[in-house]
Structure 1
Amino acid sequence: MSQKVRVRFAPSPTGPLHIGGLRTALFNYLFAKKHGGDFVLRVEDTDQNRFVDGAEDYIIAALNWSGIPFDEGPGKEGDFGPYRQSERKQLYQAYAQELVEKGKAYYAFDTPEILEHHRKDHESKGKTFIYNWHNRLKLTNSLSLSNEEVRAKIDAGEDYVIRFRSPENEKIVLNDIIRGEIHIDTNVLDDKVLFKSDGMPTYHLANIVDDHLMQITHVIRGEEWLPSLALHTLLYDAFGWEAPAFAHLPLIMKPVGKGKLSKRDGEKGGFPIFPLTWNQSQGYREAGFFPEAVVNFLALLGWNPGTEQEIFTLDELIESFTLERVNKSGARFDPEKNNWYNQQWLQKKSDAELAHLFASELTQKGIATETDYIEKVVSSIKERASFVTDFWELSDYFFQAPSSYNDKAVKKQWKEDTPEIMQQVITFLETLEDFESANIEELVKTWISEQGLSFGKVMPPLRLVIVGDMKGPHLFDIMELIGKNESISRIKTAIDKL
């Protein structure tokens, strides 16, 4: 690649960024970084009717949270701005005009009512109305009217659009990095609208002009844009410009496998489909996911590294990523597997980082405790957690004595002679000077044997009174952490309560 690689992510600010949009941004970012190129954010806000306040800020915040910031875009002006299409609108008319002058486009004056009439008429005959080579000379446009008539209509302020003149009887070969060669018969293409008399371009014209002016070398976008590839390629030809390389990413499918993933699937399945919370819809950040985990699972939705490796840092993804290894078929979204990715990333985090995250939750519960104590607790429970939000349920007994005891465990473990045995345990523990886990374990086990007791009569009830349940890490680790006085106090409370 002699020319510097430049890719763009070009969302419309019509709402929050869907997880599929974030994956498109990610694949663009990985490709750019792999080739030492630029990742550009362009906001396609020409459709002002669908513009949603706050959506652009959301898109930028989502990219930054994910750790895939853009190199150029709104607020990071480079040499190719402005990066909002609404601020570029004075550019497009000249290009639309150029196509008219070259005979590659034409003015069309057909009113919406006339077009609707033709559509209905075709439907009644079981056909589909397409505005193109086979009927354009029968409609009201600059191909069927004289130059004088066209000028008179424009001077009178009549509404018009500029349509692309699709070629007739041509077979074109399109190339897609992921899908290979695609053959198209131009007779099936319609004459798409490129420009409206209100001075606004349609997506197709603005997109091509901007990609050309911003020197975009590779267009990596979702499969839903595949039907536009023929028109976009023809537009490049019409202008006499070199087209970028195209790659169309596979759809992200519902967890059940059929159909495209939607917001409703997330609501029904109880999982997020937005990177950050938007209105009532929870985001991955707020659900407790690490950005590294989200980027990791998104990268493997439709891309295959060709190895068994599943856990990738961003740098490893950049190193391994190629468009040639992106699949053609849709990728099934698996919420359970996404949780697994988060669990893997949680295990990679240092105890200090996890303790810092857990501390804020403890503060909300009114629990103030030393940072190194929280670190020790986190270290003992983290392998059973997928999210930091799991920590409290796994560790509440480290911070407060049990207020109740698991009924099933009580029935099974608390026998007639248990209170007396627990009283003996208290007496024994009071004699211990060194309350370190390995030492308590060794001495308690020796004491059990010397008393002629079975481990089953001592250890399970002891866990029950310390924890309130039959859960948790190594019992003597728990006792060391909560300390001798607290351990004895919990046994006494249980004897009174049970």
Structure 2
Amino acid sequence: MQKNKQVRTRFAPSPTGYLHIGGARTALFSWLYARHSQGKFVLRIEDTDQQRSTEESTRAILDAMEWLGLNWDEGPYFQAERVTIHREMIRKLIDEDKAYYCVCTPEELEEKRRRALAEGRKPKYDGTCRDRKLPPSDGAVVRFRCPQTGTTIVEDLIKGKISFNNEELDDLIIQRSDGYPTYNFAVVVDDAQMNITHVIRGDDHVNNTPRQILLYEALDYEIPQFGHVPMILGADKTRLSKRHGATSVMAYKELGYLPEALVNYLVRLGWSHGDQEIFALDELIELFDLGSIGKSAAVFNPDKLLWLNQHYIKSYPEEKLLDVLQPFWKKSGLDVTDSDYGLHIVRDLKARAKTLPEMVESSLFYFTDEPPIDADAAAKFLTPEIADHLGAIADELTTLSDYSKEGIEAFLRNLAEARSIKLKTIAQPLRIALTGKTASPGLDDIMLTLGKERVSSRIRRAVSYIRNHRLS
């Protein structure tokens, strides 16, 4: 790469499915490097596989990128719209005798492969059509005339120097029989013509790289720098797949993860800055460098992602958290239109939830006048002797003038002292009266959010419950 040339990275997914975790991490690393270098990040959809590419997958990929906050400076470009350009470059190679037509049938190629394996040879194309100078014809493919001697060196920014003997490489197909370019050819033309300076991608592409470098050279293109990121493994050290849990980015959105948590987690899958675990986005942009990406595979740990998500929920701005919770509330049949009430609920619950659905589940008692009372909790705490204390709280609460967090704390403490009981004697019964369960945010927070009328009504309902269930 020329010195002082603006850094240009790209992410080039195929629209044949959703954006998965591995692809998202590759996109993130490319995006961060561009941002760190004050460069440009290009998005290109590689949709030349017409049979498998779909508009639905394209939209899903774009949605996932937008949700993660990986904004692109150029694109999205669509590779299928550039096929004419690819064909012009193929024609150039043919005219320069750097590529040729091949009419070997799939059956013939399979037989050659079997024979090579049986004889202990590498099952690469044997060059049958290499020097036949065949014209174009129906069913013919175009092959690149790969150098048969010498060495191709990949100066990988992550893995270091990798050498490939050219004699091990075969004459790869660069145009299929349907007239469409193959991946290895189209990606070279597009990266070169889009002035991509750094190709950051998964290490499953390492073996493609020497072939692509030879194509760059044949086309007189400047060769970009390559960085191949190790794969992501599941806890069992096998390649990450559906059996390890959700693998698509938008599945994590549906499961109630925040994009900031997923970005923070993905960047730490293979990249590090000392022992630091939590990074703001601006901090990542400032610190990110390719030299700190590890050479070995990263292991996906769902518990750590959950821990990060809890951290981000806790630190999220309350108005923003209220907004992202709305779809989850609606899914539970709740229409939270009172934003002031919603913000109070968010304030009560944000320190305790690991995911947004968990937060919604914990909030249900706020939205019903009669939250179901857990029978075991009632049996233990809603005892006959507690009914009088709860009744006193409901009665005296109506005259409480300072209905603030501090005022409620003082009220409960003074009432316990006046009745010669410990505060903990009434704490759990009161909690069950208000929420129906034994675990919840602080009593003063709940009481402040519910308001004096709701609190009094729920306490009187608990007193009636005791009389009907425990005093009969």
* TM norm structure 2: 0.89
Partner of 2:55, secondary structure, is: coil
Are 1:30 and 2:19 counterparts?
A: no
Contact 2:365 2:371 in 1 (8 A): no
Task: Quote the residue 1:77 is aligned against.
Answer: none
**Distance change (3 Å), C-alpha of 1:440 and 1:172:** closer
What's the CA shift for 1:227?
0.5
What's the CA shift for 1:125?
4.7
What's the CA shift for 1:358?
4.0
Partners of 2:164 and 2:334 in 1: CA distance: 66
**Distance change (3 Å), C-alpha of 1:94 and 1:440:** closer
What's the CA shift for 1:37?
1.6
Aligned partner of 2:261 among 275, 293, 302: 293
Aligned partner of 1:394 among 362, 380, 400: 362
Alignment of 1:162-201 (within 5 A): 162-201=142-181
What's the CA shift for 1:54?
2.2
What's the CA shift for 1:197?
4.9
Partner of 1:7, secondary structure, is: strand
What's the CA shift for 1:115?
1.4
Aligned partner of 1:8 among 6, 10, 22: 10
Q: Which moved more, 1:328-337 or 1:434-443?
A: 434-443
What's the CA shift for 1:387?
2.8
Contact 1:395 1:472 in 2 (8 A): no
Task: Quote the residue 1:312 is aligned against.
Answer: 279
**Once the two structures are superposed, what CA deviation does each residue of 1:388-422 show, in whole Å capped at 9, x if it has no partner?**
33233323333334443222222322334222333
Partners of 2:34 and 2:158 in 1: CA distance: 17
Task: Quote the residue 2:205 is aligned against.
Answer: 225
Task: Quote the residue 2:296 is aligned against.
Answer: 329
Task: Quote the residue 1:279 is aligned against.
Answer: none
1:27 partner letter? F
Task: Quote the residue 1:346 is aligned against.
Answer: 313
Aligned partner of 1:372 among 309, 315, 340: 340
Alignment of 1:58-457 (within 5 A): 58-74=60-76, 83-125=77-119, 127-131=121-125, 135-136=126-127, 139=128, 141-143=129-131, 145=132, 150=134, 154=135, 157=137, 159-254=139-234, 256-262=235-241, 264-265=242-243, 269=245, 272-276=246-250, 283-304=251-272, 306-358=273-325, 365=333, 370-457=338-425
What's the CA shift for 1:130?
1.5
Q: CA RMSD in A?
A: 2.6
What's the CA shift for 1:361?
5.3
Q: Which runs of 5+ in 1 are unaligned?
A: 75-82, 277-282
Contact 2:29 2:267 in 1 (8 A): yes
Partners of 1:163 and 1:181 in 2: CA distance: 28
Partners of 2:320 and 2:425 in 1: CA distance: 40
Q: Which runs of 5+ in 2 are unaligned?
A: 467-472
Partners of 2:301 and 2:399 in 1: CA distance: 54
**Once the two structures are superposed, what CA deviation does each residue of 1:232-280 show, in whole Å capped at 9, x if it has no partner?**
11222223332110111111212x1422212x225xx3xx32223xxxx
Partner of 1:243, secondary structure, is: coil
Contact 1:401 1:466 in 2 (8 A): no
Task: Quote the residue 2:469 is aligned against.
Answer: none
Contact 1:359 1:374 in 2 (8 A): no
Contact 1:401 1:467 in 2 (8 A): no
**Once the two structures are superposed, what CA deviation does each residue of 1:323-369 show, in whole Å capped at 9, x if it has no partner?**
11111111112222222222222222222222344456556645666
Partners of 2:417 and 2:87 in 1: CA distance: 93
**Distance change (3 Å), C-alpha of 1:428 and 1:314:** closer
What's the CA shift for 1:224?
1.0
Q: Which moved more, 1:404-413 or 1:353-362?
A: 353-362
Task: Quote the residue 2:58 is aligned against.
Answer: 56
**Once the two structures are superposed, what CA deviation does each residue of 1:427-472 show, in whole Å capped at 9, x if it has no partner?**
4444534333323433433343343334444333222222222222
Partner of 2:252, secondary structure, is: coil
**Distance change (3 Å), C-alpha of 1:184 and 1:50:** same
Partners of 1:18 and 1:440 in 2: CA distance: 49
What's the CA shift for 1:206?
1.5
Partners of 1:445 and 1:115 in 2: CA distance: 86
**Once the two structures are superposed, what CA deviation does each residue of 1:286-310 show, in whole Å capped at 9, x if it has no partner?**
2222222222222222111x23332
**Distance change (3 Å), C-alpha of 1:121 and 1:314:** same
Task: Quote the residue 1:280 is aligned against.
Answer: none
Contact 2:405 2:444 in 1 (8 A): yes
Contact 2:371 2:435 in 1 (8 A): no
**Once the two structures are superposed, what CA deviation does each residue of 1:200-257 show, in whole Å capped at 9, x if it has no partner?**
2211222212222221111111111100111111222223332110111111212x14
**Distance change (3 Å), C-alpha of 1:159 and 1:470:** closer
What's the CA shift for 1:181?
0.5
Contact 1:26 1:68 in 2 (8 A): yes
Partners of 1:492 and 1:343 in 2: CA distance: 35
Partners of 1:452 and 1:334 in 2: CA distance: 51
